[in-house]
């Protein structure tokens, strides 16, 4: 008899144990990558975009050190996933799959909009395309 667990058994084990370090399914990644492909195809030639990673794929003491270092260097909690600069204007996209914004993300959204930037939360490539069009970027 095998000692191996099925994926469903492993998830149930983590859940029952109260351990939230179980591997998560990346739902935002494919949307994010699709949006980057859209930006490559649709943005005006003199526009530029950038992704600011705010998450680490590690845990423990090393993750804590990396987060502390990033914060000292100016990383802001809640910063949007994608920044677009075009003709002196700043546009920000926060990519979400099936979750809501954190309080830090809401605070940053408020601050960016107050500073004159455009900001949107998008849950699909289709939504991102509609937002870019409404902003006059496509």
Q: How far is CA 58 from CA 23, 61, 64, in A?
A: 11, 9, 9
Its pTM stands at 0.76
Looking at 3.40.1350.10, 2.30.30.30, 3.20.20.70, 3.50.50.60, the CATH number of the domain 26-134 comes to 3.40.1350.10
Residues 33-91: tens digit of each pLDDT:
999 999 999 999 999 999 987 766 667 787 778 778 877 888 888 999 999 999 999 99
Is the alpha carbon torsion for 41, 125, 30, 51 positive or negative?
Answer: positive
- The lowest-confidence range among 20-24, 49-53, 79-83, 98-102 is 20-24
**Beta carbons of 15 and 75 less than 8 angstroms apart:** no
Query: H helices of 23-102, where?
Result: 28-42, 60-72
- Work out the percent of the chain whose per-residue pLDDT is above 90: 57
CA distance 17 to 71: 32
């Amino acid at each position: 008899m095998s000692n191996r667990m099925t994926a469903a058994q492993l998830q149930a084990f983590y859940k029952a144990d109260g351990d939230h370090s179980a591997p998560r399914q990346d739902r935002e990644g494919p949307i994010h990558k699709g949006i980057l492909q859209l930006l490559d195809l649709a943005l005006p030639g003199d526009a530029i975009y950038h992704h600011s990673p705010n998450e680490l794929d590690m845990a423990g003491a090393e993750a804590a050190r990396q987060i502390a270092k990033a914060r000292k260097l100016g990383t802001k909690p809640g910063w949007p996933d994608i920044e677009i600069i075009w003709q002196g204007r700043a546009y920000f996209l926060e990519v979400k799959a099936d979750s809501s914004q954190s309080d830090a993300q809401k605070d940053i959204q408020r601050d960016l909009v107050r500073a004159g930037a455009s900001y949107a939360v998008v849950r699909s490539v289709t939504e991102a395309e509609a937002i870019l069009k409404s902003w006059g970027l496509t």
